[in-house]
Amino acid sequence: MDSPTDYIPGVTIRELVLAAIHAAGGGGVVSVQATIAAVRKQAPQLPETDCGLVAAPIEISIILHLGVAFDEKVP
Protein backbone atom coordinates (compact mmCIF):
# COMPACT_ATOMS: atom_id res chain seq x y z
CA MET A 1 0.00 0.00 0.00
CA ASP A 2 2.95 2.35 0.38
CA SER A 3 4.42 1.83 -3.06
CA PRO A 4 4.08 4.56 -5.70
CA THR A 5 0.86 4.45 -7.67
CA ASP A 6 0.77 3.97 -11.42
CA TYR A 7 -1.89 6.65 -11.70
CA ILE A 8 0.02 9.56 -10.21
CA PRO A 9 3.70 8.71 -10.75
CA GLY A 10 5.86 8.93 -7.65
CA VAL A 11 2.92 9.36 -5.25
CA THR A 12 1.98 6.68 -2.74
CA ILE A 13 -1.49 5.93 -1.44
CA ARG A 14 -0.41 7.13 1.99
CA GLU A 15 0.67 10.45 0.46
CA LEU A 16 -2.73 10.79 -1.22
CA VAL A 17 -4.44 10.03 2.09
CA LEU A 18 -2.24 12.47 4.02
CA ALA A 19 -3.01 15.23 1.51
CA ALA A 20 -6.74 14.50 1.82
CA ILE A 21 -6.56 14.62 5.63
CA HIS A 22 -4.71 17.94 5.60
CA ALA A 23 -7.10 19.43 3.03
CA ALA A 24 -10.16 18.37 5.05
CA GLY A 25 -9.10 20.18 8.21
CA GLY A 26 -11.43 18.04 10.29
CA GLY A 27 -10.55 19.55 13.65
CA GLY A 28 -8.87 16.49 15.09
CA VAL A 29 -11.16 13.84 13.59
CA VAL A 30 -10.56 12.05 10.30
CA SER A 31 -13.59 10.86 8.35
CA VAL A 32 -12.77 7.57 6.66
CA GLN A 33 -15.55 8.11 4.11
CA ALA A 34 -14.45 11.66 3.19
CA THR A 35 -10.80 10.64 3.00
CA ILE A 36 -11.51 7.74 0.65
CA ALA A 37 -13.74 9.99 -1.49
CA ALA A 38 -10.95 12.57 -1.75
CA VAL A 39 -8.40 9.90 -2.71
CA ARG A 40 -10.78 8.53 -5.36
CA LYS A 41 -11.21 12.06 -6.73
CA GLN A 42 -7.43 12.50 -7.01
CA ALA A 43 -6.79 9.03 -8.47
CA PRO A 44 -10.05 7.46 -9.68
CA GLN A 45 -8.30 4.55 -11.40
CA LEU A 46 -6.77 3.10 -8.23
CA PRO A 47 -7.34 -0.67 -8.24
CA GLU A 48 -7.65 -0.86 -4.44
CA THR A 49 -11.14 -1.38 -3.07
CA ASP A 50 -12.58 1.03 -0.51
CA CYS A 51 -12.05 -1.69 2.10
CA GLY A 52 -8.42 -1.86 1.06
CA LEU A 53 -8.05 1.89 1.48
CA VAL A 54 -9.47 2.03 5.02
CA ALA A 55 -6.16 1.10 6.68
CA ALA A 56 -4.23 4.16 5.45
CA PRO A 57 -6.40 6.86 7.10
CA ILE A 58 -6.39 4.86 10.33
CA GLU A 59 -2.60 4.45 10.33
CA ILE A 60 -2.00 8.11 9.56
CA SER A 61 -4.54 9.22 12.17
CA ILE A 62 -2.71 7.21 14.81
CA ILE A 63 0.62 8.78 13.86
CA LEU A 64 -0.88 12.29 13.93
CA HIS A 65 -2.85 11.62 17.16
CA LEU A 66 -6.20 12.27 15.47
CA GLY A 67 -9.54 10.62 16.07
CA VAL A 68 -11.12 8.44 13.39
CA ALA A 69 -14.77 8.53 12.29
CA PHE A 70 -15.65 5.08 10.94
CA ASP A 71 -18.36 6.40 8.66
CA GLU A 72 -17.57 4.27 5.60
CA LYS A 73 -20.62 2.74 3.95
CA VAL A 74 -20.92 -1.01 4.26
CA PRO A 75 -22.06 -2.72 1.02
Give the count of beta carbons closer than 10 Å to the beta carbon of residue 14.
17
Whether residue 49 is contained in a domain is answered as yes
Whether residue 26 is contained in a domain is answered as yes
Tally of residues, the chain: 75
Model confidence pLDDT, tens digit, residues 58-74: 999 999 999 999 886 65
Whether residue 38 is contained in a domain is answered as yes
Residue predicted with more confidence, 1 or 71: 71
Whether residue 7 is contained in a domain is answered as no
Whether residue 64 is contained in a domain is answered as yes
**How many domains in the chain?**
1
Whether residue 5 is contained in a domain is answered as no
Beta-strand runs (E) in 1-75: 29-31, 67-69
38 is in which domain, residue-wise? Answer: 13-69
With a cut of 80, say whether residue 44 has pLDDT above it: yes
pTM: 0.79
Whether residue 1 is contained in a domain is answered as no
